[in-house]
Structure 1
């Protein structure tokens, strides 16, 4: 149930590796107790499994801070050692065209940054994930995917930086306005083309076979006028055991994608609950709203960069070998500012995404009318997301509603919409929950 910072993730159904929790229904309740019903679900995650889930997620609170600090230190080193100036000089020897010099500088900067941050990337994205049982790839397989990501980042990142430096040269005082437009164009193109050209680089996508499940998904999509010409299943299990689904793309590239983990770990009712949530993102126009929000955020960020970066260059540029902001060697200065501003904006971006997810949850409950299945899926997501955070903790660090918030919403919906709602007593989640499956 996610977006998800951003790509493409999916949903399927059928046989279960981990069957849905057994739910024994009691007699109809004269007064359905939302608090008790919520607690019965939350208490299915106990002991080492719950401690592991909490430890994983709480440890992640520090990752953005350390990642930003490492990025800033590397950018500072590239400036202090005059390496970015050297990258620019190498570009000048290849061509005297400003765009070519910017391209060479950007390419070398991105490549150097990726190499220097590789130890941190290995720890944060492979070792840590593997230690919590959330990574199924071997190190070689993971490294191969990182190479694909690097190639994509070099191409797209270089193009963005070349365009930004062209804007700085052409409009030195108001470049951030055109820069915002550049960011918006790249964001739109990414949404349009990622499902077709990027996602298949990491996973195999196949049209979902004809059958009752596909028919049910198509019928659900048709109820809300969601294009359902293409419904894909992809092999997310090669990377991890996380369950997910999405409606991705825009215009002619819209497709529904379902991952095999959802098929293997979920009941038909749970799949319907997830599908209702994902259709909600499309029906509620979250993709377009998010583009608008992030474009405004990019405008604010570039505006601040346009004020701070020239001041830093005026003060330290001579020792760095950087002439002014239009000099491509200034790219680490720009990135230091962007890294810090992005970190400061994290609670705001988390809140926007969390609001979207909460709206999609409400839509999905109305669409699927499966509150217990929805609660069950929320608990299954706890292998990588803390189930019961504090209010401030959830507001600052969660980009999705917590499991407790989602289960309570489902139980409140059940009380409000299900006549003679029955209390269920779900079975405990297995203690190996969240451990790596060898």
Structure 2
């Protein structure tokens, strides 16, 4: 049974990868509809021939890596179970520590190390791809540092959640998923509060914006939006990437307005003010809080389904997966596999909600700045710096895009500019 499951798993992954390779490289049509050709949304009007070619190449390979990464993680967890490695990790933990409270951390370090090693090739290919297309400017040493920070943060998160989850499972095998979700609510809010001041600085250095004249103008917009911020922060991202970003994160007194230095270097003042008005719209329209609620609702449904599916899998395939019971820590890879699959399935709905919020934020920025031209040129520069596709394939947008496509964003701004011009005439 274990051999058959493993064979089917490899075959399914191969066919899945083959389908997306065919879809992205041979089937998907990314050309613009006729009515958009020659408009400001047409990449041929603001990208040269080489940039057009590179954006298509880069996007296809990057999208293929995305579609391969998730199912590869599922295949990894599946083989950790089928080969009995999860049970071996548990036995090593038991033989290494006589105290039970030490056994879970030891089990998890083995699982985390094997996961890191298995996922490293795809991660490195992604890094090399960005480097070769001049998106990333990060040295290998700096990239590895970030990877190791990710590893230890991930391990710490896994240690906390797995310890609590399996304690709850042993206490209540039927309702552990509900108790776990209830505990996740205050923890999620706590993490959102800490993110700007604890987590983000582990990766990059933040400092007050040096351009005080620009800071005053941004804070003026922030005051209109009732954002409790006394400073605008800039972060030195040019040592890692050529792409651009800006954001407002945190809640309450911990709200932070942040600009990447690449954004400061590549965009004009009017373009920066448009981007910042867009980001502040998320705060004004409470998108941060809606996102928290959405995340909690999705996690409630996800934990419930994972619990049901986990019980079914153990009843049906327990011996093949080398899992004696749901209470056993060796069942953790199965839980992680199921949660990852459920996340993948739910992402399209989550992204659709996010795209709606981003559309609202674009409209807010237009109304706040009355400068559609600055919005158009900023989106054009974002496309150029990230080698993004203006009109991505349907499945890419469906599974990947948390923002509207650049075709949609730029054409909306262009329509607004035309209407404003007619109104003034």
What's the TM-score bracket when you normalise by the shorter of the two chains?
0.7 to 0.9
Distance in 2, Cα, partners of 1:40 & 1:74:
41
Taking a change above 3 Å as real, the CA distance of residues 40 and 67 of structure 1, as seen in their structure-2 partners, is closer
Distance in 2, Cα, partners of 1:218 & 1:247:
12
- In the TM superposition, residue 182 of structure 1 has moved relative to its aligned partner by 3.5
Map 1:321-340 onto structure 2 (within 5 A).
Answer: 321-340=322-341
**Cα-Cα RMSD:** 2.4
Taking a change above 3 Å as real, the CA distance of residues 234 and 346 of structure 1, as seen in their structure-2 partners, is same
Q: Residue 319 of structure 2 aligns with which residue? A: 318
**Unpaired runs of at least 5, structure 1:** 1-32, 423-438
Q: Deviations over 1:82-108 (max 9, x none)?
A: 221122223334556665433332332
1:101 aligns with 2:103: yes
Question: Once structures 1 and 2 are overlaid, which stretch shifts more, 267-276 or 355-364?
Answer: 355-364
TM-score (norm 1): 0.82
Map 1:212-227 onto structure 2 (within 5 A).
Answer: 212-227=213-228
Distance in 1, Cα, partners of 2:156 & 2:395:
39
Map 1:9-88 onto structure 2 (within 5 A).
Answer: 38-39=40-41, 43-88=45-90
1:238 aligns with 2:239: yes
Map 1:426-437 onto structure 2 (within 5 A).
Answer: none
- In the TM superposition, residue 386 of structure 1 has moved relative to its aligned partner by 0.8
Contact 1:99 1:166 in 2 (8 A): no
Map 1:130-145 onto structure 2 (within 5 A).
Answer: 130-145=131-146
TM-score (norm 2): 0.85
Contact 1:80 1:319 in 2 (8 A): yes
- In the TM superposition, residue 276 of structure 1 has moved relative to its aligned partner by 0.5
Map 1:395-406 onto structure 2 (within 5 A).
Answer: 395-406=398-409
Taking a change above 3 Å as real, the CA distance of residues 113 and 41 of structure 1, as seen in their structure-2 partners, is closer
Q: Residue 254 of structure 1 aligns with which residue? A: 255
Question: Once structures 1 and 2 are overlaid, which stretch shifts more, 297-306 or 312-321?
Answer: 312-321
- In the TM superposition, residue 222 of structure 1 has moved relative to its aligned partner by 0.4
Q: Deviations over 1:271-330 (max 9, x none)?
A: 110010010011111111111112111112211111111222223333444221111110
Q: Residue 30 of structure 1 aligns with which residue? A: none
Q: Residue 350 of structure 2 aligns with which residue? A: 349
Q: Deviations over 1:350-394 (max 9, x none)?
A: 212212211111111111221011001111121332112366753
**Unpaired runs of at least 5, structure 2:** 1-34
Contact 1:246 1:278 in 2 (8 A): yes
Map 1:87-166 onto structure 2 (within 5 A).
Answer: 87-93=89-95, 100-124=102-126, 126-166=127-167
The one of 386, 389, 396 equivalent to 1:386 is: 389
Q: How many residues align?
A: 389
**Structure with the higher helix share, 1 or 2:** 2
1:236 is paired with a residue whose SS is coil
Distance in 1, Cα, partners of 2:83 & 2:73:
15
Distance in 1, Cα, partners of 2:424 & 2:56:
31
Question: Once structures 1 and 2 are overlaid, which stretch shifts more, 43-52 or 56-65?
Answer: 56-65
